[in-house]
Amino acid sequence: MLEHLPSWLGKALSGLRAGADKLAIARTELGGTYPALSLSSPAFADGARLPERFTADGEGSSPPLVWGDPPAGTVCLALLVEDADAPAPQPLVHAAIWGLAADAGRLTEGAIAPDGAGDAAGDVGRNSFRREGWLPPDPPTGHGEHRYAFQLFALSAAVRDPGPTPGRTAMIEAMSGNVLAAGLLIGTYSRGEEAPVGPVGMVAPA
């Protein structure tokens, strides 16, 4: 949808960004200081540009994710993917999953789809368009680089059920005070900008 904005408007809005301090992982009610949980993708390195196939300019499938063992006491995991640079007061939610098994270890490419259509093995919540599944990155042309924050939370037994098909607000309320560890992976994307030099999606050695 945002690809239809004229580039002059994207440039005019370049200073309007939600900000990384608004990401879920930065919310103080979640605990703020918790151990790091390793989170990576075989499709792109942390801080690197997302391959086009995961965006609105390509097939729009969700990228694969891999993570390390969560700490003892973890009963489930939750994933939120947000655009820290959305031209809005709050980050745009691109994906939400609740109740991933503590020993899941990964999500395959295309797994973040409406319940029953993918293999996320959790309750796929609502993105900012109030739909289940992956909302492909779709930044305005000329708005500059957007940071897409993949945030994975390991949750304790005290966590409560946020309800069916939860959204960001319900998930944050349910997670408050119950985060044992968290992982962060950043993928970037832009339109109307010079693409990075070198292989797109280069992955750092394991």
Q: Which residue has the tokens 């370049």?
A: 14
Between 118 and 185, whose confidence is greater?
Answer: 185
Return the pLDDT at 195: 57
State mean pLDDT over 137-166. Answer: 93
20, with CB counted inside 10 A (0-12, 13-18, 19+), is middle
pLDDT one-digit tens code per residue, 44-62: 999 999 999 999 999 999 9
Query: Which residues 6+ apart lie within 8 Å of 166 measured at CB?
Result: 96, 98, 123, 125, 126, 174
pLDDT at 90: 92
Q: CA 166, 133, 6, 9 torsion: positive or negative? A: positive
